[in-house]
Amino acid sequence: MSSKPHLAARELLEILPLAMRSLGSQLRHSAQLPVPSHFRLLFMLAERPHNLGELAEKHNVTPPTMSSTVTTLVERGWVQRTQAERDRRQVSIELTPDGHTMLQIIQEQAETRLSEVLAPISDTELDQLIAGLAVLKSAFSKKQNS
């Protein structure tokens, strides 16, 4: 018999791909929105600028592959490369104002899609879901800080 954490983990692993496919499908059908593989990169850069090596490592790709991805986002005007004044070999990749706008659009469309999915659920069930998500968020926050 599985423990409750394992059962919860199994449910979460079953639900996350469904949610991501639904969101990805919705966002792909919107004009000018990035492909899902770019979402995570944009969200990371919203937290702080990164160098190419950091981005490649966090995405489990080679630096040349990440460089190509960054070039695509630069061409769209969503990120910029900035050389450090003291060491021109150091290049920082950061979001542009258009990149921040794109993130807001993604967030709004994702919230709209999820609201549509959740609309048929009763208020009681939504309250339970919100409470459960707060517990999950707390668990991830504690794990990340340890």
Tokens of 114: 């999820």
Question: Is residue 11, in this structure, part of any structural domain at all?
Answer: no
What distance in Å separates the CA atoms of residue 137 and residue 122, rounded to the nearest whole number? 22
Six token digits for residue 136? 């999950």
Residue type, 117: V
Decide if 6 is inside a domain.
no
**Which pLDDT band holds residue 75 (cuts at 50, 70, 90)?**
very high
- Residue 87: predicted pLDDT: 76
Q: Domain residues for 112?
A: 25-141
Would you say residue 118 lies in a domain? yes
**Domain contains 146:** no
DSSP-derived letter for residue 33 is P
pLDDT recorded at residue 57: 93
Q: Give the domain CATH number at 41.
A: 1.10.10.10
Token pair in block for residue 76: 């769209």
Whether pTM exceeds 0.85: no
pLDDT in tens, 40-52: 899 999 999 999 9
132, part of any domain = yes
- Predicted confidence at residue 85, as pLDDT, reads 79
Q: Does residue 4 sit within a domain?
A: no
Task: Domain count for the chain, please give it.
Answer: 1
Q: What is the mean pLDDT of residues 20-28?
A: 75
Q: Classify residue 5: in a domain, yes or no.
A: no
Token pair for residue 119?
């609309």
Distances (CA, A) of 14 to 72, 81, 107, 128, 129: 32, 38, 23, 19, 16
Q: Is 119 left (phi over 0), alpha (psi -120 to 50) or beta?
A: alpha
Of residues 133 and 90, the one with the higher pLDDT is: 133
pLDDT at residue 37 greater than cutoff 80: no
Do the domain assignments include residue 124? yes
Give the pLDDT confidence of 95-130 residue by residue, as tens digits: 999 999 988 988 888 898 899 999 999 999 999 999
Inform me whether the pLDDT recorded for 1 exceeds 70.
no
